[in-house]
Chain A
């Protein structure tokens, strides 16, 4: 391989060859775009099919019609009024939990990332390695002890404390801390030195100067946390006790058995569970991608 590269460098020094023949190139282009368009269909058709079904009647949901023949919002009305818990309750639960976890991840990620990036204290590197090491621990390994700890703290019971319990578990992820630390490492140090000289304390310096600068990284952490919690299935399934506290993914999993073939309301819940994330994705696509490449480091 290195031989190829070495040769590559010597050859490019000479005049580059003119392009290959245009017919072959056109065929290549056609093949490429065909693959891309076919796969796009494979990506979008299932979602559009779900959206279409959510407006169908039950008998029509079993037929091959792309556009509902007699569009009805009956599926949404059933989901809104008859599921246990009803759709607005689950939506509210999902939103509340996602919001709590987002706020804690942004705050603890920023504060902790700042300390790990810019404050000097003994044991800093070891502690940070420990944080990264937690990424190697699969959730399933910790589920029993985490559950037991929450039980001991009285946080696994129907009631608001149940939300406190699950928020504690999800309050800060190593990925959030890592993203924030990496960002704070890129900011020049003299910035806060001058503030410190003016007599500002460490927290004031952080809050007034660095926190506002960190907006792109904060946005990445916020979006990743929100999406992850909104979509989360495993921890809510284990920790949330009362159906009144269910989030949308839990409700969906449950209704799939209760309403096994009543597709329109099921697809309505599916649409409601997916649309907020789609909107986030449309507006903040680049943060999804930058978060992904940061998360990839965990390997």
Chain B
């Protein structure tokens, strides 16, 4: 109403000015998004069709980079490792996050302390956490000391207590590490959804004689469906992109014996050790397709597209 009175005659110019201001306000951020995100996506697809090394494109290869990738044995190992890692770590992250959320949700005294404490590992850098973990899991490290304390001799194990240095235990050790670091984040997602469940539902169930386990199984778990979806999607996307921990613990080759070679580490090697940018770009596209399909499958599986509103 005020606006009308002020600018009756010049409504057109006023509008134009507003639009101009809007465009100039978003100009720089939009340009960065266009160049480094949307442009990069298209550029990536283009690069992937070429033999493209450090000095730029040389030969047009069409889809041959993709054919090379699918034939490479190290890539097979990388896919196998990333798939194994994802399939194992995601359910652990979800279960742990849910367990912590439900437990923290039971109490009032100390609630905010425990919530803050459990989120704590998620705030530190992956590098700091991984180096700390390498120290704890080394043959003379805390983990082996504690095993000895409770009467287990880790040096009798076939990995000689060298958890990250043996090919049979390295990837599983990283799974344990990342389940630990992300559990707090998953807990917070679940806690937000838990507090949204109306308490009357539980009261009613109690009146009907339902014990804590029945309440959890029949009410809490199904009513958390939107949170399950959110947590699953977040975990899977994160898991398929696992890189920092692999390269810091196992070096660029994912030692020992490629047991920590993930898809992203493979991409890193192609791009920044062999400088095969065309090939690496193709790996990136393949990874994107995998992540995208995984998200679609989960959407199917959890059967809800309106999870965002339900939160």
Contact = CB atoms under 8 A, between A and B. Distances in A.
Interface of A: 1, 4-5, 7-9, 11-12, 16-17, 20, 28-29, 32-33, 35-36, 39-40, 42-47, 49-50, 53, 62-64, 108-109, 111-112, 114-116, 119-122, 124, 127, 130-131, 133-134, 136-149, 168-169, 171-172, 174, 177, 190, 193-194, 196-197, 201-203, 206, 227, 230-234, 238, 248-250, 252-253, 256-257, 261, 263, 266-267, 269-270, 273-274, 277-278, 281, 285, 288-289, 292-293, 296-297, 299
B206 A249 contact: no
Contacts of B6: 196-197
Contacts of B198: 5, 8
Interface of B: 2-3, 6, 15, 17-23, 25-26, 28-30, 32-33, 35-41, 43-44, 47, 99-100, 103-104, 106-107, 110, 114, 116-121, 123-128, 130-136, 138, 140, 142, 145-146, 149, 180, 184-185, 188-189, 192, 198, 200-201, 203-208, 212, 218-219, 222-223, 230, 233-234, 237, 241, 243-244, 247-248, 251, 264, 267, 271-272, 277, 280-281, 284-285, 287-288, 291-292, 307-308, 311
Contact of B128 (A32, A64, A193, A273): A273
Q: Is the interface of A mostly helix, strand, loop or mixed?
A: helix
B33 A115 contact: no
Given A146-B36, A202-B17, A248-B125, A46 B133 contact: yes
Contacts of B243: 140, 234
Contacts of A145: 39-41, 43-44, 47, 281
A186 B230 CA distance: 25
Contacts of A46: 132-133, 136, 142
A128 to B, nearest CB: 9
Contact of A249 (B43, B121, B128, B133): B128
Given A36-B110, A44-B120, A288-B123, A193 B2 contact: yes
25 contacts: A4-B204, A4-B205, A5-B198, A11-B204, A11-B207, A40-B114, A46-B142, A49-B136, A49-B142, A64-B146, A111-B29, A115-B26, A120-B15, A120-B22, A127-B26, A134-B37, A138-B288, A146-B36, A203-B21, A234-B244, A248-B127, A249-B128, A253-B247, A292-B188, A299-B233
